[in-house]
């Protein structure tokens, strides 16, 4: 399938070099987070070992631990609590991915076979549960229950967002409002709490913590909009995952909602017909209509506006290399092609 690049991907910032800068900046801490994460997950059951061995290959962007650590640096110092909780949020994120792969029946994730493809759905469900419960077990190593409380609350909202998404599947009249409610839950709650943890455990007062959390929330919404756009118009080889799954599962995302809201009446009928009976050609068939419309531009502009707002919240902090990287990540999250 050949498709023109969508506007949001036309001017990618130097993602590779940004990630390299972050890796330099946080190298020691990120390595420690990784150690904490895999040490917590260790098991003496042979079959669990096998799955863990496989799962180490799903190495992602580590956005959430990076948000914890960078927020901590921008707000003060990285403490042991930050590193432990960075592992916790990443573990919860991986748990949701493992369960998403069951729901989406996806066969690859980060260029590697998913757990359900390599084993089966049952194993994926239980392995996701294993990750969830280990996340809370790890969080409980801290003496107070504050972390369990804020992370528990965020994860509750993640589940609500996902349940609403499943419930609205196939609803071709999905409103922007409901779309935003869904992605605020399923994605932004976890990035918000990651940023919150960074600020809170660096000893910041409540108003600063609230601003940093708001940064994390808006970044998360923007990130998910970009992710949804990639699922629609991205390149499978670059993203390393099965694309077009939103269309296959009849999950309406922002560009499609915009397209339906602005298309001429005959076009809208054809588009609805395509959405109602998705197959492997749906992505390329929709491309024609997307190119005629402002849907991709509108989506990109919305994501960029959220990024601007996210960065404004950072101004509560003094300028620093860490604050700059937080702003860069926000920009990168919507300009990436993977």
Looking at beta carbons only, is 156 or 280 nearer to a second copy? 156
**Residue 39 is a binding residue for a second copy (CB under 8 A):** no
Query: CB 86 → a second copy: shortest distance, Å?
Result: 18
Tell which positions 165-224 bind a second copy, by CB under 8 A: 166-167
Q: Give yes or no for residue 83 binding a second copy (CB under 8 A).
A: no
Of positions 159, 172, 208, 235, contacts a second copy by CB under 8 A? 159
Dihedral over Cα of 308, 192, 190, 69: its sign: positive
Helix (H) or strand (E) holding 112: strand 112-113
Q: Which of residues 135-154 bind a second copy (CB under 8 A)?
A: 136-146, 148-149, 152-153
Q: Which stretch binds a second copy (CB under 8 A): 20-28, 159-167, 221-229, 262-270?
A: 159-167
Nearest to 261 by CA among 180, 179, 184, 174: 174
Question: In the complex with a second copy, which residue's Cβ is closer, 95 or 202?
Answer: 95
Q: At what angle do helices 121-139 and 15-41 cross, to 10 degrees?
A: 90
Tell which residue, 332, 337, 338, has the closest CA to residue 13: 332
At closest approach, how far in Å is the CB of 135 from a second copy?
8
Cα 121 from Cα 101, distance rounded (Å): 9
CA distance 39 to 269: 54
Shortest distance, position 213 Cβ to a second copy, whole Å: 17
Q: For residues 259 and 282, what is the distance between their CA atoms, to the nearest angstrom?
A: 14
Q: Which of 23, 31, 26, 52 is nearest to 40 (CA)?
A: 52
| Residues making contact with a second copy (CB under 8 A) | 43, 45, 47-48, 51, 95-96, 99, 102-103, 120-123, 125-130, 132-134, 136-146, 148-149, 152-153, 155-156, 158-160, 162-164, 166-167
């Amino acid at each position: 399938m050949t498709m023109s690049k969508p506007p949001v991907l036309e001017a990618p910032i130097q993602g590779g070099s940004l990630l390299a800068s972050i890796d330099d900046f946080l190298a020691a801490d990120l390595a420690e987070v990784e150690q904490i994460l895999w040490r917590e997950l260790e098991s003496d059951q042979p079959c669990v070992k096998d799955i863990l061995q496989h799962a180490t290959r799903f190495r992602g962007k580590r956005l959430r631990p990076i948000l914890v650590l960078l927020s901590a640096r921008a707000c003060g110092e990285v403490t042991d609590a930050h590193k432990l909780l960075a592992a916790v949020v990443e573990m919860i994120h991986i748990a949701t991915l493992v369960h998403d792969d069951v729901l989406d029946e996806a066969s690859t994730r980060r260029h590697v076979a998913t757990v359900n493809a390599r084993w089966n759905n049952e194993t994926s469900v239980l392995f996701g549960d294993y990750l969830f419960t280990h996340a809370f077990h790890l969080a409980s190593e801290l003496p107070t229950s504050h972390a369990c409380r804020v992370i528990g609350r965020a994860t509750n909202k993640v589940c609500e967002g996902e349940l609403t998404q499943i419930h609205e599947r196939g609803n071709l009249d999905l409103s922007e409002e409901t779309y935003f409610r869904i992605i605020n839950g399923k994605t932004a709650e976890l990035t918000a709490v990651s940023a919150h943890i960074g600020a809170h455990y660096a000893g910041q007062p409540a108003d600063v913590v609230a601003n940093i959390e708001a940064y994390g929330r808006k970044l998360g919404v923007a990130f998910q909009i970009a992710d949804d756009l990639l699922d629609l118009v991205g390149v499978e080889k670059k993203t390393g995952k099965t694309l077009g799954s939103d269309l296959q599962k009849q999950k309406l995302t922002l560009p499609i909602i915009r397209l339906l809201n602005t298309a001429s009446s005959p076009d809208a009928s054809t588009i609805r017909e395509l959405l109602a009976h998705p197959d492997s050609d749906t992505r390329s068939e929709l491309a024609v209509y997307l190119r005629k419309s402002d849907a991709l531009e509108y989506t990109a502009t919305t994501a960029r506006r959220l990024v601007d707002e996210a960065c404004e919240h950072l101004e509560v902090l003094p300028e620093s290399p860490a604050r700059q990287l937080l702003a860069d990540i926000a920009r990168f999250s919507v300009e990436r092609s993977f």
